[in-house]
Chains A and B, each alone.
Chain A
């Protein structure tokens, strides 16, 4: 420091003009200077290229709540593109405006905070309410506006979570809708097929690690998982289930045994701990829908995937030769056989088809759940509920059933908690089948027994 000018090396720190360093005295560093420097540095970081630093800077400015920062904030807001940092900047701008002495500026701050819809803006507004008795009315209106937006957003997010859970249930139940609904074979190992699909995803990812195909691991896992579980399903139908047709209770026990063997084998081979399946970049992060409803990308993709699989299954049943054979065998096995349809082969293919769908569900679940040997156990009860609720043998019923159960579950959760919501849904289904014992979309028929 010389004559009040701040020198940096041989130059004036402000102008950059050469200066004589002789006789300059060093700046004495004390805590006050440190604090001032830290704040100044923090403000400068608002233009840093590193988003994390900008976020920290914005937070610092928000805390200080000083009207002096307004020009800095206006400039930063004009440049900023990252939503999270923009949020802080809008908050800081509103807070800074509120801290100014200018009545119009304060009103502008209240207006911008109210429009932002952020929960934190609510806190800032309520804080300012005490010191600005004249503006109380405007502040209250802004708070109410935020509350409305928050409620809307919460409802939207809840609905999305419900649809997301519903699509997971749909994926897990679609295979059952084919094996149980169409064929009438109760497969308690269905959950284990889902689990095997998830492990196939893990294996495909490991096999492709380091190869150029690695980014495509997840897409390639879908057909791979379908093949693995479909082959296993075909083998299981031909080897075991075929001998138990017409004895559903025995089929239930036998398939449960198969499920135990599969689960324990996977546990012995891969270990009991969770396996890591990574998500591709396009499935990570969150997406903002209009109205500031944030949705996670992977859940969104699973909804898309669920609908795609549903359409695929519907198309396969309606438009392919295999689907035609399948429907014929279900309607009347003996007449189908006299028409030259090889019913045994159709049985095997149908069961393989349903099992393959379970495998594809496993690929989706590997993205949102832990890939462990008991992955499938958690879904099997719910999937059966979906099929029973929606109506056995009806794909539309499965869709409506899965989405209804998912949304109702999520809507109940904030009030009743996760467990009680599940119990309530279960009781609801019990009561529902009092009125409609065959589910939502019952197949019409006049027989007393199936």
Chain B
């Protein structure tokens, strides 16, 4: 019935507007003078900014999993690669203010006895180049892995296992000191971005708003993608891949496109995340991170876009709240969440609200 679907659309639009209005509050209220009853602390702004980056990551997973049926357990790796690209730029921006005061080499390279920058660090002193790499490197990796996997029709759990193995291998590689990415410790002690010191209120607000803008743009791109004819095809591939293939569509190309797009979104999220939290290390590649992000999407409701955003915020809010007083319990709760969502909430939080109507 058109009436219900219009209502549903309006409800979703309303929810999106509500979320974005609420998300505008933290930086605005943070700007209030200290001591004001409505003032929000710097900590809340930083944490919410982090969650926005997670929401972009969740959105990218929903695009691949919720619509095209590609359950990637490698999106944490794409996120981390984007983060490392941004981290490399931030390291170069430290300049001679490092502990060793070397004008070009980051501290860890001086410490490890590097004489000059490795070739793959060239160009990262330019912000646009670093941003481009934050998108292109995850995109290229997803393109390669996806092309190899999709063309030999590796689907379902097999794809999940392959992407998880990729993540695992990357984690091992980034933990090595001689990779030239800071090994165990990764990158930290960043000073400034685009000439603005990172520890100032204006930098915090700027990063927050940049993340929020990126969330809006990625949501619009995703919404446009899934509501186009292309999006219909993605859903058809998700539900009956062979049938779409036999109808004459180039399934491999469609899946590859959405996988690469999704990986680039994850890379963007990582690039925004690093200046907000001020650190990136190989732990971000941990396979557990990728699968945790999948659960945000499942909890919020996959195949809805807005559900992914809701899921990222609600699970991370729960995590922040719970780990503040019972850190040991968090993994138990998260594990239970996996079980509850898959058994009792197949359509996630969003499904709760709309199941009765439809």
In the bound complex, do residue B295 and residue A423 qualify as a contact, i.e. CB atoms below 8 Å apart? no
Determine chain B's interface SS by DSSP, over half rule.
Answer: helix
Query: Given A420-B173, A430-B149, 18 other A-B contacts at CB below 8 A?
Result: A240-B339, A249-B65, A249-B69, A249-B160, A250-B342, A252-B160, A253-B295, A254-B339, A256-B338, A260-B331, A260-B335, A261-B335, A264-B335, A381-B164, A388-B158, A423-B169, A429-B165, A434-B152
Q: Does A3 make an interface contact (CB < 8 A)?
A: no
Q: Does A449 make an interface contact (CB < 8 A)?
A: yes
Closest to B178 in A: A417
Q: Which of A256, A265, A420, A430 contacts B332 (CB 8 A)?
A: A265
Report the bound CA distance from A228 to B170 in whole Å.
35
Q: Does B154 make an interface contact (CB < 8 A)?
A: yes
CB-contacts of B140-196 with A (<8 A): 145, 148-149, 151-154, 156-158, 160-162, 164-166, 168-169, 172-173, 175-176
CB-contacts of B327-343 with A (<8 A): 328, 331-332, 334-339, 341-343
Closest to B171 in A: A419
In the bound complex, do residue A257 and residue B338 qualify as a contact, i.e. CB atoms below 8 Å apart? yes
Closest to B160 in A: A252
Q: Does B294 make an interface contact (CB < 8 A)?
A: yes
Report the bound CA distance from A265 to B329 in whole Å.
9
Q: Which of A243, A253, A385 contacts B165 (CB 8 A)?
A: A385
Report the bound CA distance from A434 to B176 in whole Å.
29
Q: CB-CB < 8 A to A160: which residues of B?
A: none
Knowing A248-B157, A257-B336 touch, does A381 contact B168 (C-beta < 8 A)? Answer: yes
Q: Does B74 make an interface contact (CB < 8 A)?
A: no
Q: Does B291 make an interface contact (CB < 8 A)?
A: yes
Select the residue from A244, A253, A381, A385 with max chain B CB neighbours within 10 A.
Answer: A253
Select the residue from B69, B157, B164 with max chain A CB neighbours within 10 A.
Answer: B157
Q: CB-CB < 8 A to B152: which residues of A?
A: 433-434, 437
Q: Does A133 make an interface contact (CB < 8 A)?
A: no
Knowing A249-B156, A426-B169 touch, does A448 contact B332 (C-beta < 8 A)? Answer: no
CB-contacts of A396-450 with B (<8 A): 419-420, 422-423, 426, 429-431, 433-434, 437, 448-449
Q: Does A199 make an interface contact (CB < 8 A)?
A: no
CB-contacts of B306-351 with A (<8 A): 328, 331-332, 334-339, 341-343, 346
In the bound complex, do residue B154 and residue A433 qualify as a contact, i.e. CB atoms below 8 Å apart? yes
Q: List 19 A-B contacts (CB under 8 A).
A: A186-B157, A240-B339, A248-B157, A249-B69, A249-B71, A253-B298, A254-B342, A256-B338, A257-B335, A257-B337, A261-B331, A261-B332, A261-B335, A261-B339, A265-B332, A419-B175, A423-B173, A426-B165, A430-B162
In the bound complex, do residue A253 and residue B294 qualify as a contact, i.e. CB atoms below 8 Å apart? yes
Closest chain B CB from A190 CB (angstroms): 12
Q: Does B287 make an interface contact (CB < 8 A)?
A: yes
Knowing A244-B342, A257-B336 touch, does A430 contact B148 (C-beta < 8 A)? Answer: yes
Q: Does A166 make an interface contact (CB < 8 A)?
A: no
Q: CB-CB < 8 A to A260: which residues of B?
A: 331-332, 334-335, 338
In the bound complex, do residue B153 and residue A437 qualify as a contact, i.e. CB atoms below 8 Å apart? yes
Number of A-B contacts (CB under 8 A): 110
Q: CB-CB < 8 A to A431: which residues of B?
A: 148
Instruction: Please tell me the number of chain A residues within 8 Å of chain B, measured between CB atoms.
Output: 39
Report the bound CA distance from A392 to B162 in whole Å.
14
Closest chain A CB from B143 CB (angstroms): 14
Q: CB-CB < 8 A to B294: which residues of A?
A: 253
Q: Does B10 make an interface contact (CB < 8 A)?
A: no
Q: Does A36 make an interface contact (CB < 8 A)?
A: no
Closest to A184 in B: B157
Report the bound CA distance from A423 to B242 in whole Å.
31
Closest to A250 in B: B342
In the bound complex, do residue A381 and residue B165 qualify as a contact, i.e. CB atoms below 8 Å apart? yes
Select the residue from B153, B156, B161, B336 with max chain A CB neighbours within 10 A.
Answer: B161
CB-contacts of A210-256 with B (<8 A): 240, 243-244, 248-254, 256
Report the bound CA distance from A422 to B170 in whole Å.
10
In the bound complex, do residue A250 and residue B335 qualify as a contact, i.e. CB atoms below 8 Å apart? no
Report the bound CA distance from A248 to B71 in whole Å.
10
Q: CB-CB < 8 A to B328: which residues of A?
A: 264, 267-268
Closest chain B CB from A320 CB (angstroms): 29
In the bound complex, do residue B335 and residue A259 qualify as a contact, i.e. CB atoms below 8 Å apart? yes
In the bound complex, do residue A388 and residue B335 qualify as a contact, i.e. CB atoms below 8 Å apart? no
In the bound complex, do residue B335 and residue A423 qualify as a contact, i.e. CB atoms below 8 Å apart? no
Closest to A420 in B: B173
In the bound complex, do residue B334 and residue A257 qualify as a contact, i.e. CB atoms below 8 Å apart? yes
Q: CB-CB < 8 A to B168: which residues of A?
A: 381
Report the bound CA distance from A264 to B287 in whole Å.
16
In the bound complex, do residue A253 and residue B169 qualify as a contact, i.e. CB atoms below 8 Å apart? no
Report the bound CA distance from A82 to B242 in whole Å.
68
Report the bound CA distance from A252 to B294 in whole Å.
11
Report the bound CA distance from A210 to B136 in whole Å.
63
Q: CB-CB < 8 A to A193: which residues of B?
A: none
Q: CB-CB < 8 A to A258: which residues of B?
A: 335, 338-339
In the bound complex, do residue B334 and residue A253 qualify as a contact, i.e. CB atoms below 8 Å apart? no
Closest to A417 in B: B176
In the bound complex, do residue A240 and residue B156 qualify as a contact, i.e. CB atoms below 8 Å apart? no
Closest chain A CB from B312 CB (angstroms): 16
Closest to B168 in A: A381
In the bound complex, do residue B343 and residue A249 qualify as a contact, i.e. CB atoms below 8 Å apart? no
Q: Does A384 make an interface contact (CB < 8 A)?
A: yes
In the bound complex, do residue A381 and residue B336 qualify as a contact, i.e. CB atoms below 8 Å apart? no
Knowing A259-B335, A381-B168 touch, does A437 contact B154 (C-beta < 8 A)? Answer: yes
Q: Does A263 make an interface contact (CB < 8 A)?
A: yes
Q: CB-CB < 8 A to B332: which residues of A?
A: 260-261, 264-265, 268
Q: CB-CB < 8 A to B164: which residues of A?
A: 381, 384
Closest chain B CB from A145 CB (angstroms): 37
In the bound complex, do residue A253 and residue B172 qualify as a contact, i.e. CB atoms below 8 Å apart? no
Report the bound CA distance from A445 to B187 in whole Å.
51
CB-contacts of A58-72 with B (<8 A): none
Q: CB-CB < 8 A to A422: which residues of B?
A: 169, 172
Report the bound CA distance from A265 to B334 in whole Å.
12
